[in-house]
Amino acid sequence: MLVVMKKDATPRQIERVIAAIEGQGLTAHAIPGAQRTAIGITGNRGSLDRNLLETLEGVFEAIPVSKPYKQVSREWQPEDTLVDVKGVVFGGKSLVVIAGPCAVESYEQCRTVAQAVKDAGAHLLRGGAFKPRSSPYSFQGLGEPGLEILARVREEVGLPVVTEALDPEGVDLVEKYADMIQIGARNMQNFSLLKRAGRSSLPVLLKRGMSATIDELLLAAEYVVSEGNPNVVLCERGVRTFADHTRNTLDLSAIPAVERLSHLPIVADPSHGTGRRDKVVPMARAAVAAGADGLIIEVHHDPAAALSDGYQAVLPDMFRDLMAELGQLAPVVGRELRSGTAAAS
């Protein structure tokens, strides 16, 4: 923290600010300047509040310095974290592609889509049994029967499964049936859920909230990691802005930003990130070109009949073409795209 005094601050005001800082067990370093004095603070334990200091007389502004997260930072651990989901590894050289329907609607639908994405080379199967929907009148997911379908399809098709939990009880169920817990954008700061996920043995796919900064995303991950679960994969899925040509604004610069600040892997979700089928493929390519460790993509064999978000699902054919493009693109950015079977072996 750095405290900048007003130009006309009196020596007595400066002394009182120093006393306030030292009263908290911290060390104050006065830096007299041509126009004004600044006061550096060390020994910072995260307890000192910027705005608090600004209420003292003579203070112009207080500026935070240290980042508020610890264990997820690259300073804490320089080397990349590898997150292993039943042999599929996020954060290494191989791109990981998660694909499947937005929601599990039936065994037939889930099986059809799962087989299609497996054949196209996907590494993990996605599909929601619990759906967070803005309206109470929208389809809310099949619940536990949806998880049973996912577990059955997993065995038959041979893809590990990631699926969303909306609350701590949901985590209990996801642990029973699936291989990775997804925490959605609306729940990025549902701290009860984050803490429960932090006590799980399953890896976590944590999506960025619609108006979350990168610092807040990393702090949400810190909630999980600080409870004992180091296996967190972050996900950029679009933020909310004034722009109205897509459902959200996919902020791909989050990928190099996270890579610089944290050792955790990060994937992109161009399906929710754009909300429009015709933009999913270009933005999927762009995410990989920006350095993403993987993608999560909604695929549906009959989007017009989908019970949720059908307009953003790509068709199996489009997905297969995309995988072929990614196979060409990966080496350009020093990556590789192994087939789902190979990756899991």
Among 90-98, 110-118, 155-163, 183-191, the segment contacting a second copy (CB under 8 A): 183-191
Q: Which of 187, 200, 229, 262 binds a second copy (CB under 8 A)?
A: 187
Both tokens of 287, joined, read 């995410």
- The residue among 63 and 342 lying less far from a second copy, judged by its C-beta, is 63
Nearby residues of 153 by Cβ (< 8 Å), 6 or more positions away:
107, 110, 111, 114, 125, 161
Give me the least distance between CB of 112 and a second copy, in Å please: 19
Out of 254, 295, 296, 297, the residue judged to bind a second copy by CB under 8 A: 254
Question: Can residue 21 be called a binding residue for a second copy (CB under 8 A)?
Answer: no
Report d(CA 199, CA 194) in Å as an integer.
Answer: 9
Asked if 10 interacts with a second copy (CB under 8 A), we say: no
Residues, the chain: 345
CB of 169 to a second copy, least distance (A): 8
Cβ atoms of 149 and 104 closer than 8 Å: yes
Question: Which of these segments, 30-38, 93-101, 120-128, 156-164, binds a second copy (CB under 8 A)?
Answer: 30-38
E strand segments, the chain: 2-5, 27-32, 37-42, 59-63, 83-85, 88-90, 96-100, 124-126, 161-164, 180-183, 204-207, 232-236, 266-268, 294-298
> Are 267 and 234 a contacting pair, CB within 8 Å?
yes
The only residue of 56, 151, 318, 344 in contact with a second copy, by rule CB under 8 A = 56
Q: Which is nearer to a second copy, 94 or 187 (CB)?
A: 187
Distance in angstroms (rounded) separating the CA atoms of residues 30 and 52? 18
Span from 55-63, 109-117, 120-128, 151-159 in contact with a second copy (CB under 8 A): 55-63
Helix H or strand E segment including 204: strand 204-207
What minimum distance in Å lies between the beta carbon of 12 and a second copy? 17
- Which part of the chain contacts a second copy (CB under 8 A), choosing from 59-67, 92-100, 117-125, 147-155? 59-67
β-partners of residue 296 are 98
Instruction: Give the footprint of a second copy on residues 310-339 (CB under 8 A).
Output: 310-312, 325, 328-329, 331-333
* DSSP H or E stretch at residue 17: helix 11-22
Binding residue for a second copy, selected from 19, 22, 57, 68, defined by CB under 8 A: 68
CB burial of 212-230 (b: ≥16 within 10 Å; e: otherwise) equals bebebbbbbbbbbbbeebb
Distance CA(214)–CA(122), nearest Å, equals 28
- What HEC string does 261-296 produce? HECCCEEECHHHHHCCHHHHHHHHHHHHHCCCCEEE
By CB under 8 A, the residues from 128 to 167 that bind a second copy are: 132-138, 140, 166-167
The residue (of 51 and 345) whose beta carbon lies closer to a second copy is: 51
Tokens of 135: 């309206």
Tokens 């810190």 locate to 222
Q: Is 249 in the site for a second copy (CB under 8 A)?
A: yes
- By CB under 8 A, which span of 4-12, 86-94, 101-109, 175-183 interacts with a second copy? 4-12
Q: Do 274 and 280 meet the contact criterion of CB atoms below 8 Å apart?
A: yes
Minimal distance, residue 97 CB to a second copy, in Å: 15
Site string for a second copy, 204-233 (x = CB under 8 A): ------xx-xxxx--xx-xx--xx------
- Report, in Å, the least distance between residue 156 CB and a second copy: 29
> Which residue of 49, 57, 84, 172 would you call a contact of a second copy, by CB under 8 A?
49
Which span sits near a second copy by CB under 8 A: 104-112, 118-126, 174-182, 303-311? 303-311
